[in-house]
Amino acid sequence: MRSSLQHPARLVPLAFLIAIAIGTALLLLPIATAGSGGTDFITALFTATSAVCVTGLIVVDTPTYWTPFGQAVILALIQVGGFGIMTGGTLLGVLISRRLGLRTRIVAQAETRTLDLGEVTSVLRLIFVATLVVELTIWAALAARLHWEYGEPLPLAIWNGLFHAISAFNNAGFSTYSDSLVGFADDWLFLGAIMLAVIVGGIGFPVLADLRRRLLHPSKWSVHTKITLLGTGALIVTGTLAVLFYEPVADGTLNPLTFPERLLEALFHSVMTRTAGFNAIDVGALRSETLVVTDVLMFIGGGSAGTAGGIKVSTALVLILAVWAEIRGEADVTAFHRRFSRDVQRQALTLIVLAMIAIALATLHLLSVTTFSLERVLFETVSAFATVGLSTGITGDLPPSAELTLVALMFVGRVGTITVATGLALKRSQRPYRYPEERPIVG
């Protein structure tokens, strides 16, 4: 116990386990559920894990199954989970740069350009202020829109606005509407506010801190900020184009719509894969090819040390840039006139391979205990791992062992990537001798 507390990377999973346990206990209270007698253990555990891990997968209908008390518990768990992962990720990032800084001064200097805040309290305060400012702004916008445009009574509009502002900034994807945001499918203002909150929350605090200090001096941004912004933009455009390309066919979900409506739907779906999980479109009706593209986008996810999930944009870009350098015959992997260390390349590779293994094992288990097709099962497991929360609708029909698999996958996806990344960055044991080099044939 003592050694697990001493290793800082293990504090995050421990804190999340405690939050999930408390959340499960609260949701098991009879006053949390609309029916009599309270809910069952697996439903409470699944919902608490989904909320704390800001995933948004649900086995029961949020607005009708849970009472206002239950919904408030879910909202509190989302806020705790989102704030926890943002601060945890940021502080572990600071820690890594400090530790590496003790060894190689150049790396540390480059690293502190990404985030050179002095104190833990300072980080906590800044994240708290950022959360508060964004959530209050979006809350006001959503509540006003719900009251004046959709005629919701003011208290209800305030509650729904608050719920969706918190859920969006924390990339949680929970909604107090049974059909998520399908009712706002042609509302640029409402969906625009949601998208803004999702992107700001999911881009990661190191990027926000960098932008806050040097917004008007892009050339001084850290390479992490640059590749995260570039990658996020490219992924959003790719997702939008894919939906616009695949879905307007006969029988496709976008077929009956005008072009502006199609564009909004495609853009919104694409942004939600980074990894918010609201839907304004019937995900279960999407074509297989759209689901596959969405799988890839969800797997990559959002920015590091933010509320988004997935392996992270920067991780994917490090690997893509390594492949690109190899194709061009370059010895160094570079971006924006900066070189990436060999270490960080192998860490990115390891993270991605471990993520694929976790998803593959969960997919095999779900396939073996259900009759659902591979496209639907894979979509579900990727969505759970990357804490997206989108679903083709199979979540509520899974047997208990599959639900528990998703619980484990959400937890591993939420805290596993950051824990593994920190562990790999801090662990380094050199053998006292080296073996002779030999080249196996490749390909």
Residues within window 147-186 making contact with a copy of itself, judged by CB under 8 A: none
What does the alpha-carbon distance between residue 409 and residue 380 come to, in Å, rounded to a whole number? 10
Among 82, 88, 93, 202, interactor with a copy of itself by CB under 8 A: 93
Residue 3 binding partner per list a copy of itself, K ion, none, with a CB distance cut-off of 5 to 8 Å that depends on partner kind: none
Residue 77 binding partner per list a copy of itself, K ion, none, with a CB distance cut-off of 5 to 8 Å that depends on partner kind: none
Question: Nearest-5° angle of CA 321, CA 324, CA 327?
Answer: 155
Among 79, 97, 273, 392, interactor with a copy of itself by CB under 8 A: 97
Amino acid letter, residue 78? I
Q: Give residue for tokens 């994807």.
A: 173
Q: Give residue for tokens 């390909």.
A: 443
Among 67, 338, 394, 408, interactor with a copy of itself by CB under 8 A: 338
Pick between residue 340 and residue 411 the one whose CB is nearest to a copy of itself.
340
The tally of CA atoms less than 13 A away on the side-chain side of residue 177 is: 18
Q: Give residue for tokens 């986008």.
A: 297
Q: Give residue for tokens 């590091």.
A: 304
Residue 227 binding partner per list a copy of itself, K ion, none, with a CB distance cut-off of 5 to 8 Å that depends on partner kind: a copy of itself
DSSP three-state, residue 368: helix
Q: Can you name the residues that pair with 235 across neighbouring β-strands?
A: none
How many angstroms separate the Cα of 323 from the Cα of each of 318, 328, 356, 417?
Answer: 9, 9, 18, 22
Among 239, 277, 303, 310, interactor with K ion by CB under 5 A: 277
Among 373, 393, 399, 401, interactor with a copy of itself by CB under 8 A: 373
The site that binds a copy of itself (CB under 8 A) totals a number of residues, namely 93
For CA atoms 374, 375, 379, 382, the dihedral sign is positive
428 binds a copy of itself (CB under 8 A): yes
Between residue 225 and residue 264, which ones bind K ion under the rule CB under 5 A? none
What does the alpha-carbon distance between residue 169 and residue 192 come to, in Å, rounded to a whole number? 13
What does the alpha-carbon distance between residue 158 and residue 139 come to, in Å, rounded to a whole number? 8
Cα Rg of the chain (Å, integer)? 22
Pick between residue 76 and residue 426 the one whose CB is nearest to a copy of itself.
426
Pick between residue 256 and residue 432 the one whose CB is nearest to a copy of itself.
432
Q: What is the DSSP letter of 114?
A: H
* Residue 134 structure tokens: 């964004």
81 binds K ion (CB under 5 A): no
For residue 287, count CB atoms less than 10 angstroms from its CB and return exposed for 0-12, middle for 13-18, buried for 19 or more: middle
Among 315, 381, 387, 391, interactor with a copy of itself by CB under 8 A: 315
Amino acid letter, residue 257? L
230 binds a copy of itself (CB under 8 A): no
220 binds a copy of itself (CB under 8 A): no
Between residue 184 and residue 223, which ones bind K ion under the rule CB under 5 A? none
Q: Minimum Å distance from CB 276 to K ion?
A: 5
From 162-170, 211-219, 233-241, 329-337, give the range in contact with a copy of itself by CB under 8 A: 329-337
**Taking the CB of residue 252, how many other CB atoms lie within 10 A of it?**
17
Between residue 44 and residue 73, which ones bind K ion under the rule CB under 5 A? 56
What does the alpha-carbon distance between residue 312 and residue 50 come to, in Å, rounded to a whole number? 19
Among 70, 81, 161, 173, interactor with K ion by CB under 5 A: 173
Q: Minimum Å distance from CB 191 to K ion?
A: 16
The site that binds K ion (CB under 5 A) totals a number of residues, namely 5
Judge contact between 323 and 333, C-beta under 8 A. no
Pick between residue 56 and residue 310 the one whose CB is nearest to K ion.
56
Among 264, 280, 297, 348, interactor with a copy of itself by CB under 8 A: 348
Q: Minimum Å distance from CB 393 to a copy of itself?
A: 16
From 34-42, 76-84, 344-352, 385-393, give the range in contact with a copy of itself by CB under 8 A: 344-352
The residues that touch K ion, with contacts defined as CB under 5 A, are: 56, 171, 173, 277, 389
